[in-house]
Amino acid sequence: MTAAADAMTVTPQDAQKYEEKEFGFWLYLMSDAIIFACLFATYLVMVGNAAGGPTGKDVFSLERAAAETALLLFSSTTFGVAAVALSQADRPKVLLWLAVTFALGAGFIVLEFGEFAGMIAEGAGPDRSGFLSAFFTLVGTHGLHVSVGLLWILVMMGQVLFKGLTAPVASRVMRLGLFWHFLDIIWVVIFSVVYLPGLL
Amino acid sequence: MDATSGIPVERTLKPYLIGIVLALILTAIPFGIVAFGAMERQTALIVIAVFAVIQILVHLHFFLHIDFRSTPRENLIALAFACVLIFIMVGGSLWIMFDLYHRMMV
């Protein structure tokens, strides 16, 4: 075993501890899924209430939604590559692929920010109608999660850089992975419930 | 987590590659349907929903590594419970609100 892999060695007792932490984080993700489910239910109830203002057809762009989707899907895969590098205890590769994931996620946020800013500038802000309030709440909550995920990626890059691939750091990176892949699933539901039906 | 190997993570590239290929296909088809207007609205909505459910399962399996062998039982129970709650809350909200809507309109 290499010295780097050695740092990740855990006793069965520690392994149990990390498994419990992962379970706790999983419970958080499930409760987060329920929050999103409520926002989706709200959106579906409100989607018809455009109050004479713009509807989904007027404000959504299929190209932008496709680009946002592609960025998030590829970022999930690049995070996977980082996880593979982590299991090989390859520190430079972990840092590289976390950085790529960060870049893709940041690209998503830039696109979404542009979308929101453009809509508000056109007078289609969250105060325009029930439909737009629900839209901004739902998609904005997802965007907020992705932003927090980006911050977390930066923190983990810092820990990998300065603390090395120790067992606690590795287990945190794996929980970050759960969070990141979970957000991708939420996005799948967003484009299937919000963008595609809105543009149909 | 495998205590004998000493490394808390065991990941291979293969599931992620299968996952991204499936995810891209499952995304491209519903986007294509909307882009080319290939179907009636009602049919298209059903197809989009079916592809979304399949894609969620693909993501759960290939990205989050959920399966019935290696995933701890408590995690699966939590997942199943969340699914039940989501079904009750989304289904119940839509039922009540649209029932109310139709009663107000008639």
Distance (Å, whole) CA A154 – CA B53: 32
Length of chain B: 106
DSSP label at A75? H
Model confidence band, residue A1 (pLDDT cutoffs 50, 70, 90) = very low
Residue B5, pLDDT above cutoff 50? no
Cα angle B26, A114, B25 (rounded to 5 degrees) comes to: 10
For A11-68, how does the pLDDT look when each residue is reduced to its tens digit (9 = 90+)?
888 888 999 999 999 999 999 999 999 999 999 999 999 999 999 999 999 999 999 9
Q: How far is CA A39 from CA A72, A119, A137, B36, in A?
A: 20, 20, 7, 29
- The upper half-sphere exposure of residue A182, i.e. CA atoms within 13 Å in the direction of its Cβ, equals 22
List phi, psi (to 5°) of B92. -65, -45
> Looking at beta carbons, which residues of chain A come within 8 Å of B72?
19, 23
Which residue of A10, A37, A65 is in closest CB contact with B89? A37
What would the pLDDT profile of B66-99 be if each residue is shown by its tens digit?
999 989 999 999 999 999 999 999 999 999 999 9
Output the six-digit token pair for B50. 């079916």
Q: Which residues in B lie closer than 8 A to residue A172 (C-beta atoms)?
A: none
Residue A195 CB burial class (10 angstroms; 0-12, 13-18, ≥19): buried
Predicted pLDDT at A5: 57
- Report the pLDDT value the prediction gives residue B10, as an integer from 0 to 100: 76
pLDDT of residue B4: 36
| Contact residues on chain A for B16, CB-CB shorter than 8 A | 76-77, 80-81, 83-84
Quote the pLDDT of residue A9: 74
- Could you give the CA distance from residue B33 to residue B44 in angstroms, rounded to a whole number? 7
Q: A158 burial class (0-12, 13-18, 19+ CB within 10 angstroms)?
A: exposed
State the best of B11, B53, B97 to mutate against chain A, taking most chain A CBs within 10 Å: B11
A144, with CB counted inside 10 A (0-12, 13-18, 19+), is exposed
pTM of the model: 0.92
User: Given this model, what pLDDT does residue A182 score?
Assistant: 98
Sorting pLDDT into bands at 50, 70 and 90, what band is A189? Answer: very high
Confidence of residue A112 (pLDDT cuts 50, 70, 90): very high
CB within 8 Å: B48 and A18: no
* Interface contact B6-A197, CB threshold 8 A: no
CB A86 within 8 A of CB B11: yes
